Structure 1
């Protein structure tokens, strides 16, 4: 058990790092008051036009929910539609159409979810989410934060709502959502990607066919952890050092990150009595988070020490995310740093793995990307810069196509802040709603040849028949929509752009196995060993 606050206290020597000026505070209070008024108007008890003509909520179709087990049995018994969440949704969409209510899919967390399959409803939901959108947090993570209040000292990790969320994003957005600010980390990403390339060269020599080992995905997670650490904390963890022992800190961090999402699925989606009894999964969940957060706090404290001792050239050095945020608000800075380190491993690593699979499976697309890479990087050792990335449209198209086919989530989740009409039905304020983006992204009516890996659909030179512009813009949303979209999306894209370009410039990749299986728990992604056959290029 953690009984003391592990975060370093801020000394009186450096108050300037953690205070806003009075002028900034006054400006923020005016902005906050303005948004309070907007939120009051958003959430007022008024009915939208056509409300009385819309069909009542209780008439929305949906599968029968059984006592005690609800609909969760669909994920547990292979004979009933299959175990995977995505397959369950596909079957229900075929049975009930564009809108249905799914009851009893997450224990007591979510009583019922209105599930949408019509892009027009996606748009209606997005345009009516208000200035302070609500996205419920996982109850296991909420409860963990409550029992660890002395560890966090009032710092929330994720899941803030309303004014708390608004304050957090107001501070973080200028740093995390500005393209120019994120682009400054390209050099750091380049160095981490170089380490990944060297490791893959070594792994290719361990098998005469150059096939990657069954645990190759772990190598991608090391890359993701190292990438987020150098940007967030300006710390090189050494994740990609060869010969790391299983009990090495980076290995334990990666294991903990993957377990974190798997355990949330077991605790919050599958039936569990962890709220009543301290189950084995709950104890493991607490242990995993304790380790990850204590490890992060160790590195955060080191960064704070550097700042307090004035060891950082605050004028000329490229500042880490933590350093930039500390100038605005200490609690927000630490919260953001920990959240990025917890959530930025399994997520980005999954997308890179899926992308390498798609490129290996589609040699013609791999060749096209390599031609672009060679035109920009004259040698395999040429560093990637922000100027290089600005001239790589096919690379950007590849990443978009990967996230169309294999985003980390099957859809976007919101709780309505006011009464709205979806699919011709009355949807009361406070209703949980899921947009099923991934299923629509794989349908030809939205993306021609939807099952095919076609980065060309994202190029401006593509014919109108194939172009993504023919699809409703609310269908493709791998990072969400609006003000509550993923705060780390620009950083994630930078990581992926650099890694894909480095990989394709250094290796020819082939996939000589049966098609990859994708599966859904808390996250969506590849579910079998990524046994790519890799051949280093001569030049």
Structure 2
């Protein structure tokens, strides 16, 4: 019944079909053929340099697996399982301390994962990822997609190989083009103004100006509103003060958060959902169904609006959604779904972590405020792309936040050819993970690594703390290479505008013990974000 309902939703309210020109199609097919040839070279069976001298794959150190159940018992068995209840970051630290720069977890639901702790090996891995990089699919999403045949639900997140390349080739020129994203600066400015107004309102509810326990929900409202104006061409009204708990906007947020929580339970913890319809699986399906239906509804409205504007000579295709729809309706739906899932909890977490660090390090916050005051005459002065181009300390703040609190603790790839990593033979079709966060927090790579020091990213920076001393492959908060996050330019714009607006309007303090950070599907702050804010003078 649910599948029928979704298929009905895909019956768009307009018969307008956007097609590429024959010339564009021919050019793409030539490009595809070229990349097929490159891919064939990438997947050659040739031995890399040093292969014969490297140690065999079977000798990579790691926790000893048990027959049949492998190493899963370490995560699943209380008391005796040494990984049971541990955060993934702590597990990675344990592996690094015990086994060195490379280790392997064998017998994880029928597969093994190699974990790397040397940035030189990161570089080798990613420089050999090929033109069609592969990372392990998410089993729960694959199962959902299989249960909804005929419904276009996801874009890049579930694709591999040629299918991934075709989709990415369509969306890359739209979402990775700086000028396309820069057009949204004024809209991000308005969304940030709404967030600032809500923070002012919440501060008045407490004599200390302390934010409530559920303040993170305000950040999720901000991130959803930001995603909505780009992918749905719609101001969803997420930051309205009278927003009800049962409103569509709040339901989108709740379902997007639930999506990651449920994925963690299904794919990162022992679960029987592949063999039976467990309660978590049923809830997961319900969550995705709601998000798909909601996306399609808003895209239908956008299509109706475009159809009415079609014969208007003044109408110029500018928005991201319009450009995606011009390519293909299914592409627009799938990309909107990807960005809604990937753009709410993620940027909300990064903004939350950044506010915590700015509150904990008032001298760094003051440097950001001075830059904001120099660029924004008044607290309500609009932020423009020209303003952002003159804000180096702001960019340094965002980089330092993503170093200390990225949404992912590492990056995964599946090797497409033989590699030598840390002196060991790594066969093709091996899942390998770079443990970026663990080594980002090591003084050997970033002096005073656990301190919040945005100046390390400035061109004029003391040599002893400069990021230039660190391997550039360590910091990869949005991934690396062709498979890096498609929404990274949008995310950076959202964060730049929000941090600058908040610093211009408020003095933030953190009068509590240090924030706890934790990993489920994503990494981030785990305690209530009870920052205290005080309006600054003009």
What is the TM-score when the length of structure 2 is the normalising length? 0.96
Residue deviations 1:55-105, cap 9 Å, x none?
110010101123455334444547735521111111111000000111234
Cα distance in structure 1, aligned partners of 2:206 and 2:14: 54
The 5 A counterparts of 1:237-252 are 237-252=236-251
Q: Structure 1, residues 256-299: CA drift from partner, whole Å, max 9, x if none? A: 11110111110011000001110010001011111111111110
Unaligned stretches of 5+ residues in structure 1: none
Match of 2:20, SS state, is coil
Q: For residues 313 and 267 of structure 1, what CA distance do their matches in structure 2 show? A: 49
Distance, in Å, in 2 between the alignment partners of 1:27 and 1:359 is 49
Aligned equivalents of 1:312, 1:527: Cα separation in 2: 51
Do the aligned partners of residues 75 and 380 (structure 1) sit closer, same or farther apart at CA in structure 2, a change above 3 Å counting? farther
Q: 1:401 to 1:316 in 2, by over 3 A?
A: farther
> 1:312/1:405 Cα in 2 relative to 1: closer, same or farther (>3 Å)?
farther
Question: Within 5 A, what are the aligned runs for 1:79-478?
Answer: 80=82, 83-105=86-108, 107-108=109-110, 111-152=111-152, 156=155, 158-310=157-309, 319-478=318-477
Residues 321 and 337, structure 1, Cα contact 8 Å, conserved in 2:
no
CA distance in 1, matches of 2:311, 2:71: 55
Paired with 2:202 and 2:318, the residues of 1 have a C-alpha distance of 34
Once the two structures are superposed, what CA deviation does each residue of 1:205-227 show, in whole Å capped at 9, x if it has no partner?
11111110000000000000000
SS at match of 2:524: strand
Is residue 3–residue 150 contact of structure 1 (8 Å, CA) maintained in 2? no
User: More displaced, 479-488 or 71-80?
Assistant: 71-80
* Aligned 8 A contact 2:13 2:304 in 1: no
* C-alpha distance in structure 2 between counterparts of 1:57 and 1:496, whole Å: 42
- Secondary structure in structure 1 of the residue aligned to 2:290: helix
Alignment of 1:35-54 (within 5 A): 35-54=35-54
Total equivalences in the alignment: 532
Distance (Å, rounded) in 2 between the aligned partners of 1:156 and 1:97 = 37
Q: 1:446 to 1:314 in 2, by over 3 A?
A: farther
Partners of 1:309 and 1:476 lie apart in 2 by 46
| Higher mean displacement: 171-180 or 496-505 | 171-180
SS at match of 1:3: helix
Q: Which moved more, 1:62-71 or 1:495-504?
A: 62-71
Structure 2 unaligned segments of length 5 or more: list them: none
Deviation at 1:402, TM superposition (A): 0.1
- TM-score, length basis structure 1: 0.96
2:180–2:320 CA contact under 8 A, matched in 1: no
Question: What is the CA–CA distance in structure 2 between the aligned matches of 1:537 and 1:316, rounded to whole Å?
Answer: 42
Distance in 2, matches of 1:515 and 1:251, equals 29
SS of the aligned residue for 1:150 comes to: coil
Alignment CA distance shift 1:379-1:155 (3 Å): closer
